[in-house]
Amino acid sequence: MGLTPSLERLASHFASLPSIGRKSAVRLAYHVLSMDEKDVQAFADSLVEAKKNTRLCTVCQCFSETEICPRCGDPGRDASVLMCVEDHRSLEAIEALHEFRGQYHVLHGVLSPMDGIGPEQLKIKELLARLDGNVKEVIIATNPSVEGEATAMYLGRLLKPLGVKVTRLAYGLPVGGILEFADDTTLLKAIEGRTEV
Amino acid sequence: MGLTPSLERLASHFASLPSIGRKSAVRLAYHVLSMDEKDVQAFADSLVEAKKNTRLCTVCQCFSETEICPRCGDPGRDASVLMCVEDHRSLEAIEALHEFRGQYHVLHGVLSPMDGIGPEQLKIKELLARLDGNVKEVIIATNPSVEGEATAMYLGRLLKPLGVKVTRLAYGLPVGGILEFADDTTLLKAIEGRTEV
């Protein structure tokens, strides 16, 4: 027989999440039974509320609970530099460095014609709307993948004629890596991008 | 800054589940934002309902949505043999063999004085109540751990005077294993428990 109907429903919801397999999902469902009823209710409420309260910041398109996110509303950040990222994970990784003090723009993906993702599916219109003359530089920080690269080239061609400086994160050897183990493309890019010492 | 307050709450609920770390929890929270609102609501409802609808079968103490679980209510199963397991994972593992046609009894743990778990914390009273003369054999299928073994010995001493046959799952070499790699205790048990060919 197996799980009771309501445990089965719960387990299949867990299993629909990324990187949670059937066995883990069943274990999580059993774990929920061992939780206090009020904690289960709080978990359920947090699901619904996270979905309900979260919208996109009208400026940078990051997830926000307010119309304009705290970062975009922060006058201490330099609005003349926009760091253009694929998604929130990239944004958080850069933000965690505590070094970049400009503003962000979240594209919500990269160009991928195979998956039917063209410029209209990304937040490019919203990016163009921000280029009001105050923005001096757009740093393109898409992932170093084929799609990330294609998106960077597309944005470069689109933005340069507007008189804004467009830069791309540097390719090269990862710090602490071993030259011998670097892949060919990375090594070539490191030679191409060599800097004077 | 990091996550919005409601995403932070959701991520911390995910992170409180077993084997989900902080990074996975954040990824799951972002995933929830990409789900349809009705799926998020269904997930939330399934949490609350699984907790609310699930109780213990009054006979075998397994999780059930009815007072007596479908297994205990099944007249096709042999009520004279009780397989006594630690938890539901053990029960499901044995049930998945489709070989055992007796009844179960779930102890909900094993004796562990260090963790304050004595006989009163386990479903032993409920096990004794089932020994009404119709039960001929109790198979003790606790895990082959120190606590599982201690629990098996305790139950053996408790049940034997009541005139019921008490057995324990066999120890020995795992099928497909290599003798040379078996640990000492397993190998000793395999020699002790040798059978005639």
Report CA-CA distances (Å) from B123 to A53, B62, B105: 44, 10, 8
The reply to whether B110 and B162 lie within a common domain is yes
> Of B33, B48, B51, which has the smallest distance from its Cβ to A63's Cβ?
B33
Give the per-residue pLDDT at B31: 94
The reply to whether B84 and B166 lie within a common domain is yes
The reply to whether A162 and A113 lie within a common domain is yes
Q: Residues B163-187: what's their mean pLDDT?
A: 83
pTM: 0.76
Rounded to whole angstroms, how far apart are CA atoms B8 and B26? 8
If you count residue pairs, one on A and one on B, with CB atoms under 8 Å apart, how many are there? 128
Q: Give the CATH number of the domain where residue A135 resides.
A: 3.40.1360.10
User: pLDDT over 70 for what percent of chain B?
Assistant: 99
User: pLDDT over 90 for what percent of chain B?
Assistant: 68
Residue B70 domain flag: no
Phi-psi region of A164 (alpha: psi -120 to 50; beta: other; left: phi over 0): beta
The reply to whether A16 and A82 lie within a common domain is no
Residue B159 domain flag: yes
CB contact under 8 A, A27 and B40: no
B54 alpha-carbon distance from chain centroid: 15
Give the per-residue pLDDT at B171: 83
Give the per-residue pLDDT at B33: 92
Quote the minimal CA–CA distance from A150 to chain B in Å.
24
How high does pLDDT run on average in chain B?
90
B48 near A CB under 8 A: yes
Count of structural domains, chain B? 2
Q: Residues B3-12: what's their mean pLDDT?
A: 93
CB contact under 8 A, B18 and A7: no
Range with lowest mean pLDDT among A57-61, B137-141, B177-181, B182-186: B177-181
The reply to whether B93 and B134 lie within a common domain is yes
Residue B11 domain flag: yes
Tokens coding A77: 């950040």
Pairing of strands A137-140, A165-168: parallel
> Of A4, A9, A95, which has the smallest distance from its Cβ to B64's Cβ?
A4
The reply to whether A93 and A24 lie within a common domain is no
Residue B178 domain flag: no
Q: State the residue range of the domain holding A16.
A: 5-53
Of B163 and B179, the structure prediction assigns the larger pLDDT to: B163
Residue B155: which pLDDT band, with cuts at 50, 70 and 90?
A: very high
The reply to whether A16 and A90 lie within a common domain is no
B50 near A CB under 8 A: yes
The reply to whether A98 and A140 lie within a common domain is yes
Quote the minimal CA–CA distance from B57 to chain A in Å.
11
Low-confidence stretches of chain A (pLDDT beneath 70)? 1
User: pLDDT by residue (tens digit) across A28-62?
Assistant: 999 999 899 999 999 999 999 999 999 999 999 99
Residue B90 domain flag: yes
Residue B1: which pLDDT band, with cuts at 50, 70 and 90?
A: very low
Q: Residues B27-46: what's their mean pLDDT?
A: 95
The reply to whether B89 and B46 lie within a common domain is no
The residue among A159, A160, A142 whose CA lies nearest residue A151 is A142
Residue of B nearest to A33 (CA): B51
Residue A183 domain flag: no
Q: Give the CATH number of the domain where residue A27 resides.
A: 1.10.8.420
User: pLDDT by residue (tens digit) across B67-91?
Assistant: 999 999 999 999 999 999 999 888 9
Q: Is the ipTM of this complex over 0.85?
A: no
Residue B187 domain flag: no
Residue A111 domain flag: yes
CB contact under 8 A, B65 and A29: no
CB contact under 8 A, A30 and B89: yes
The reply to whether B100 and B134 lie within a common domain is yes
